[in-house]
Amino acid sequence: MVLAIILTALCIGALCVLLFNLAIYALPVFVAFTVGYWAIDIGAGAIGAFAVGIIAGTIVFTVGHAAIASSQSLRARCVIAMLFTIPAAYMGYSAVLGLAKLGTPSYAWQHLAALLAAIVTSHEMFARLATPPLVPDRR
């Protein structure tokens, strides 16, 4: 019984780490699903909608990261990072709310834990994206 509790806690922790590391992809996935559903609505079919969604998500990811990498202005970096951070915060909120509903009976504590997760996720994603990469000094 104790082993089951320990393994459950470890699995939930591993799931949270996985979700936290995948939060950077929240905006491209959101765009891919939105464009894919739009393609289904206009009659592209399942395979066409899947292809269009994958292409749209890949374009958003590539353009966003290229813009962050090539930007010299801190303001531009912050604006682009915020575009990626807002969906990541929503994803963190939704993921922790779903997990909290499994084990927390209080409605207020569920949403408090989810709000804390959204704040932590958004702060970490913004810090990852807005800080310039370390470039070695070539003197």
Q: What is the pLDDT along the chain (139 residues), one digit of tens a residue?
A: 888 888 888 887 787 778 777 777 888 888 999 999 999 999 888 899 999 999 999 999 899 888 888 888 888 888 888 888 888 899 889 888 988 888 888 899 999 989 998 998 888 888 877 776 666 656 5
Give pLDDT, residue 63.
Answer: 92
Give pLDDT, residue 38.
Answer: 93
Give pLDDT, residue 72.
Answer: 80
Give pTM, 2 decimals: 0.73
Contacts of residue 69, defined as CB under 8 A and 6 or more positions apart, other chains included, come to: 133
Give pLDDT, residue 135.
Answer: 60
Give pLDDT, residue 106.
Answer: 87
Domain boundaries, the chain: 12-130
Alpha-helical (H) ranges within the chain are 2-22, 26-41, 45-70, 74-103, 107-130
| 3-class state of residue 67 by DSSP | helix
